[in-house]
Amino acid sequence: MSESPSTLPAFGIVGRDVLPERISARLLAMIAEKQLQPGDKLPPERELAATMGVSRPALREALRALAMMNVVEIRQGSGTHVTSLRPERLVEHLDFVFALDDSTFVELLEARRVIEPGIAALAAERATDAELQELRATLERTAAAIGDAAGFLEADVHLHSLITTAARNPILARFMASLTRLGLASRARTVTLPGVQEQTLRDHQAIVAAIASRDPETAADAMQRHLEQIQAHLRQSTAST
């Protein structure tokens, strides 16, 4: 991005006494509105502070906060750049937030219950023979990993990822990439609960069987039941702690 005044986007004056949060919000809005693109370099700190009508310390604090969110990258000697804005990078630090609040685990599963049955239905329509073969192989890995929490979790995540790939919808794939990243903390917990691994294997077998039968409705129902089972286990665990 050029730093000449004629090509700079309108960062806008937000007031000298503004909180860093409001500066961050303005920059995030510019990214959402495509005024700032992935990889763009922001103007030098002094120039940007003057353009926005804020103090340099307030701007610096706002940029540090955005850097922690992986929205911008502050490069020594090179300035501040908008990152690639890849979803998996933007949610990197949210696992810690989930670890602090059990209720968010349940809310995440609610989100999955809205999205994943539809993904399973699409996979039943679109999965290739090679993808079906890999799904069956992953079921075998899942069965072999019962009792091994880490191995079971890896197979679980991989199977759901395969189903998302088979659905062939890039928008849904982006949603699921974010949900998967956010859900790693909750999955790590639920996979250790009594009976969850065995129930998950049975659920996965039903889902894969429906996808292999090219039955979208049954695949969606099987995925819905699977997520309801996990949510019930998680609610029970949360209530007992």
* Residue at a domain's end among 85, 109, 137: 85
Say if residues 121 and 179 touch (Cβ distance below 8 Å). no
- Chunked into runs of 10 residues, the chain (241 residues) has average pLDDT values of 53 62 89 91 94 91 88 92 80 56 73 95 98 98 95 95 96 87 79 92 98 98 94 72 55
Which of left, alpha, beta for 76 (phi over 0: left; psi -120 to 50: alpha)? beta
What gap in Å lies between CA 32 and CA 25, rounded to an integer?
A: 10
Q: What are the distances in angstroms from CA 104 to CA 52, 111, 153, 240?
A: 36, 10, 19, 16
CATH code of the domain containing 159: 1.20.120.530
* Residue at a domain's end among 52, 85, 118: 85
* Residue at a domain's end among 61, 85, 109: 85
pLDDT digit string, tens, across residues 179-219: 887 777 778 878 888 899 999 999 999 999 999 999 999 99
Which residue range is the domain that position 71 belongs to? 20-85
224 shares a domain with 105: yes
- Give residue for tokens 């699977």: 226
